Amino acid sequence: MTDKDDLVAGRYRLAGRIGRGAMGVVWRAHDERLDRTVAVKLLSFDAAEDEQVFREARLAAKIQHPNAIQVHDVVEHDGRPCLIMEYLPSDSLSAVLTGRGALPADEVARIGAQIAGALAAAHDAGIVHRDIKPDNVLIGPDGTVKITDFGISRLIGEGTATGSGIIAGTPAYLAPEIACGGTAGFPSDVYSLGSTLYTATEGAPPYGFDENPIVLLRRVATGEIAPPRQSGALGPLLLWLLCADPSQRPSMREAHEHLATGKPPPQAQPYAATMTLPSRKPRRRGILVTAAAVALVALGLVMGLAINRDGESATLPSNAPTTPPTTTTAGPSSCQADYQITNSWQDGYEALVTIRSSTAARLNGWTVTWMLPGGHSINNLWNGTLSLDGKTVRVAPAQWNTAVDSKTSFGFIAATNGTRPVTPDVVCTAR
């Protein structure tokens, strides 16, 4: 039995439980060698019984991305495999939805852009997540979003270690082809992302909730969803992600581009049909059957993904100051922008810009402008539209957030040539 203050692998001192999943318990722990806080997931089966854990952990540790939890190590403790992971004080998207209810479309787009950026990097590396759902999306206190639980992912083409004919997932977020016994792939990840974002804006998954997972699987297999009613202009994009035909869905990189920029899908995507969904919300449960029906297994592995540098970039000349990362600059009109660097690493950083109305009027047609130093480029921007005019960066609202009552925000990930993040003077203007 594992208890508080136990020492794992001679260096990780367990401090307290922070979660429990189908395949194990997660502890907050102190790495006594590197003097840092980590998360330790003790899996609930013998290490000798499943070499897949070690294969998945080795794969996970190879790639890093600022929007994915990183795996540091895999060790054994009392004959069981343990994953040593990045620790992020956070709530899951599921917990946020429980506490707040359905979220505004612009906030969901910001969350979705970060998830899609990490998943696009995974797909570029040939990795399928296979279990994207609100429980596996973590949101930190500063708004940083990270995807976790790549435990049932595998390289495309690699033989499954769970047995012939076994597939994995969570019923409410599965793609129709998986519910019919098909093979998980990049398009099924796109569908699960769509289901997760749909849940965030609509307050329930596309197929609702049901005590009987088999009934829910049959519903998923039809591909017939209730059209989004609370998602505003984000609705057409959700329908594109949720196309019943996998070949008609966007790639994950396309999904990221549309979520980050507010760009609408190429055309309004039709849905198969509508249905009346039950209103009750029972506890979540999983099932395991053969591929002729469906196998639903939730493993607890977390991975980091490589930072995406393939997106559209905007590089500006050098000469910017190196001031501390906090600023608030009021524009000449009824608009104020607060710029904050929320995360940084050796060759990049993440920033969040919060826009507030200085009066009781709604924010319409706002624009935030600033200058970037040389060697800096913006690769991923969510909840806004980016443009350049010489040395000036301009951000305007995303298409589904052209007017808000008194407050909104946008964020971005920037790459650098190794120089430290800087905070520019920002100016917000609004009609």
User: 55-59, 68-72, 297-301, 312-316 — which one is most confidently predicted on average?
Assistant: 68-72
For the cut 60, the answer to whether the pLDDT of residue 125 exceeds it is yes
User: What is the C-alpha to C-alpha distance for residues 417 and 374, in angstroms, rounded to an integer?
Assistant: 9
User: What is the C-alpha to C-alpha distance for residues 290 and 223, in angstroms, rounded to an integer?
Assistant: 21
Does residue 253 lie in a domain region? yes
For the cut 90, the answer to whether the pLDDT of residue 15 exceeds it is yes
Per-residue pLDDT band for 315 (boundaries 50, 70, 90) equals: very low
Lowest average pLDDT, out of 30-34, 252-256, 275-279, goes to 275-279
CATH for 29: 3.30.200.20
For the cut 80, the answer to whether the pLDDT of residue 107 exceeds it is yes
Q: Which residue has the tokens 């810009």?
A: 353
For the cut 80, the answer to whether the pLDDT of residue 273 exceeds it is no
Q: In terms of domains, do 255 and 125 share one?
A: yes
Q: Mean of the per-residue pLDDT values for the chain?
A: 75
Listed in sequence order, the residues at least 6 apart from 163 whose beta carbon sits closer than 8 Å to its beta carbon are: none
Percent of the chain's residues with pLDDT above 90:
29
Per the annotation, binding residues for ATP are 41
- Give the pLDDT score at 218: 83
For the cut 80, the answer to whether the pLDDT of residue 197 exceeds it is yes
Give kind and range of the element (H or E) at residue 248. none
For the cut 80, the answer to whether the pLDDT of residue 40 exceeds it is yes
- Give the pLDDT score at 292: 34
For the cut 50, the answer to whether the pLDDT of residue 409 exceeds it is yes
Q: In terms of domains, do 105 and 76 share one?
A: no
When divided into structural domains, the chain yields a total of 3
Q: In terms of domains, do 141 and 193 share one?
A: yes
Kindly provide the b/e burial profile for residues 378-396, where b requires at least 16 CB atoms within 10 angstroms of the residue's own CB: bbbbbbbbbeeeeeebbbb
Does residue 310 lie in a domain region? no
Higher pLDDT, 317 or 369: 369
Instruction: Tell me what the mean pLDDT of segment 158-180 comes to.
Output: 63
Of 65, 86, 107, which closes a domain?
86
Does residue 274 lie in a domain region? no
Instruction: Tell me what the mean pLDDT of segment 381-386 comes to.
Output: 74
SS3 of 387, please? Answer: strand
Q: How far is CA 267 from CA 97, 250, 336, 376, in A?
A: 30, 12, 35, 34
For the annotated catalytic residues, the residue numbers are: 131
Q: In terms of domains, do 48 and 148 share one?
A: no
Does residue 242 lie in a domain region? yes
CB atoms within 10 A of CB 208: 18
- Give the pLDDT score at 52: 67
Q: Which residue has the tokens 């795996």?
A: 71
Dump the DSSP string for 288-339: B--TTS-B----------PPP--S---BB-S------SEEEEE-SSSEEEEE
- Which tokens in the block code for residue 226? 């209730």
How close are the terminal C-alpha atoms of the chain, in Å?
Answer: 63
The domain containing residue 130 runs over which residues?
Answer: 91-261
Q: In terms of domains, do 55 and 104 share one?
A: no
Q: In terms of domains, do 168 and 73 share one?
A: no
Q: How far is CA 428 from CA 183, 335, 398, 414, 424, in A?
A: 49, 6, 16, 20, 13
Of 239, 261, 283, which closes a domain?
261
Q: In terms of domains, do 389 and 375 share one?
A: yes
Does residue 287 lie in a domain region? no
- Give the pLDDT score at 1: 66
Q: In terms of domains, do 214 and 149 share one?
A: yes
Does residue 183 lie in a domain region? yes
User: What is the C-alpha to C-alpha distance for residues 169 and 171, in angstroms, rounded to an integer?
Assistant: 6
CATH for 355: 2.60.40.290
For the cut 50, the answer to whether the pLDDT of residue 316 exceeds it is no
- Give the pLDDT score at 63: 63
Per-residue pLDDT band for 380 (boundaries 50, 70, 90) equals: low
Q: In terms of domains, do 35 and 125 share one?
A: no
For the cut 60, the answer to whether the pLDDT of residue 330 exceeds it is no
Does residue 295 lie in a domain region? no
- Give the pLDDT score at 261: 93
Percent of the chain's residues with pLDDT above 70:
70
- Give the pLDDT score at 294: 35
CATH for 133: 1.10.510.10
Higher pLDDT, 178 or 388: 178
Per-residue pLDDT band for 361 (boundaries 50, 70, 90) equals: low
Instruction: Tell me what the mean pLDDT of segment 19-30 comes to.
Output: 80
- Give the pLDDT score at 211: 62
For the cut 90, the answer to whether the pLDDT of residue 275 exceeds it is no
Give kind and range of the element (H or E) at residue 252. helix 252-261
For the cut 90, the answer to whether the pLDDT of residue 31 exceeds it is yes
- Give the pLDDT score at 214: 78
Q: In terms of domains, do 28 and 118 share one?
A: no
Q: In terms of domains, do 366 and 230 share one?
A: no
Per the annotation, binding residues are 41
- Give the pLDDT score at 411: 77
For the cut 50, the answer to whether the pLDDT of residue 77 exceeds it is yes
Listed in sequence order, the residues at least 6 apart from 299 whose beta carbon sits closer than 8 Å to its beta carbon are: 22, 23, 56, 131, 149, 151, 152, 168
For the cut 50, the answer to whether the pLDDT of residue 132 exceeds it is yes
Instruction: Tell me what the mean pLDDT of segment 93-118 comes to.
Output: 94
Higher pLDDT, 276 or 158: 158
SS3 of 221, please? Answer: helix
Q: In terms of domains, do 197 and 158 share one?
A: yes
For the cut 50, the answer to whether the pLDDT of residue 178 exceeds it is yes
HSE-CB of 189 using CA atoms within 13 angstroms: 31
Does residue 14 lie in a domain region? yes
Of 52, 71, 86, which closes a domain?
86
- Give the pLDDT score at 45: 60
